[in-house]
Amino acid sequence: MKLIVLVFLFLLSGWQQIAGASAAITLPNGFQITVALEGVPDARSLALGDQKTLFISTRRAGKLYAARDEKGDGKFSRPVLLAEGLRMPNGIAFHEGALYVAENHRITRFDGIEGRLHNPPAPVEIAKLPTERHHGWRYIAFGPDGLLYVSIGAPCNICNEPGYGTIIRMRPDGKGRELFAEGVRNSVGFDWAPGTGDLWFSDNGRDWLGDDLPPDEINRAESPRLHFGYPYCHAGYLADPEFGMLRPCEDFTPPALTLGAHVAPLGIRFYTGKQFPAKYQGQLFVAEHGSWNRSEPVGYRIGLARIESGEVKSYEPFATGWLGTGGAVSGRPVDLLEMPDGSLLVSDDHAGLIYRITYNP
């Protein structure tokens, strides 16, 4: 009997911690946040299959998961382990029935995965990638042109290495690889603007210039082969102490939005659903993962960029509370995924949770 009581208290404690994880989050009036899925340590990128299967990647854990909302109530079933022993499988994307997975050194494809969650097919390698581990966790997504976009982060804090600090794109079979954007230190999230189809992406600024420099960035690529400054210029105006004398900031495309230094923007998502009020539709949500080496932590929230005619007019907090008093951290937002019903999922690699944000006044 004593053992049963101890088990019950342990489970109750875990439930209270999970319930508290969402209860601490502050949102605008009318919005609610709940835990949609637990038990996914190091939850990172999110992708949705044609049959509404939720796929979740990790980075440090080296694992890949899937889960389904069996009851249609916004709660996902216990995650199914699809693969393990992978090398930083951060980026994932679903396209024409297949799940694409970006490890540090390659991109693979799991064909017909939704019909084989409990017996996954062997992955098919479609592309090899650089093997440097510094900023080697890739982000991938399919664009409106049907091409697969891949970020290749700089293999350092600050350096000038050809072939790195880029976003490339390729056909779904891995062929036809080409440069799309350069001067990008480390992007871990991008999306395409509704209407224009322009690529917007997050970019994490360099370290060790102090607490307040340089600002992190959200960039807009209206056309291919634009250069966004790294390693010569940061945030459109700040010449790098080591490389800035080589090329002036005027040579490069300035950011669409500068954020706080070291807030670490990762996933970004244009909201195209109808569940949220009209003033949120077509706007850009940004997951600020949070600082790791700042004397006072910043970030650990979701921001909202209000955009008109392709220009950012304002930036404001949308979801806060993961950063508590005294710098206590309860969660770190990573990726954002809009669901068919207009709700918004948020991954948290610190707490190992997936949240669901809904609107119901």
> For 88-174, where are the E strands, in sequence order?
91-95, 98-102, 106-111, 124-128, 140-142, 148-152, 166-170
Give CA–CA dist 206/44, Å, rounded: 22
**pLDDT (0 to 100) of residue 87:** 98
Which residues, at least 6 apart from 92, have a Cβ–Cβ distance to it below 8 Å? Answer: 45, 46, 47, 55, 56, 57, 64, 99, 100, 101, 102, 140
**Spatial separation of the C-alpha atoms in residues 118 and 35, rounded to whole Å:** 24
Low-confidence ranges of the chain (pLDDT < 70): 1-21
What is d(CA 282, CA 196) in angstroms, rounded to the nearest whole number?
11
* Whether the predicted model's global pTM rises above the 0.85 cut: yes
The whole-number pLDDT of residue 19 equals: 52
- Tally the C-alpha atoms within 13 A of residue 255's C-alpha that lie toward its C-beta: 24
Nearest Cα residue to 287 out of 272, 266, 271: 266
pLDDT digits (tens, 9 = 90+) for 235-275: 999 999 999 999 999 999 999 999 999 999 999 999 999 99
How are beta strands 178-182 and 226-227 bridged, if at all? Answer: parallel
Domains annotated on the chain, with CATH: 28-359 (2.120.10.30)
Q: Token match 């489970």: residue?
A: 11
Q: Which of 163, 74, 79, 66 is nearest to 120 (CA)?
A: 66
| Residues written for the chain | 361
| pLDDT tens-place string over residues 206-219 | 999 999 999 999 99
Residue 23, pLDDT score: 74
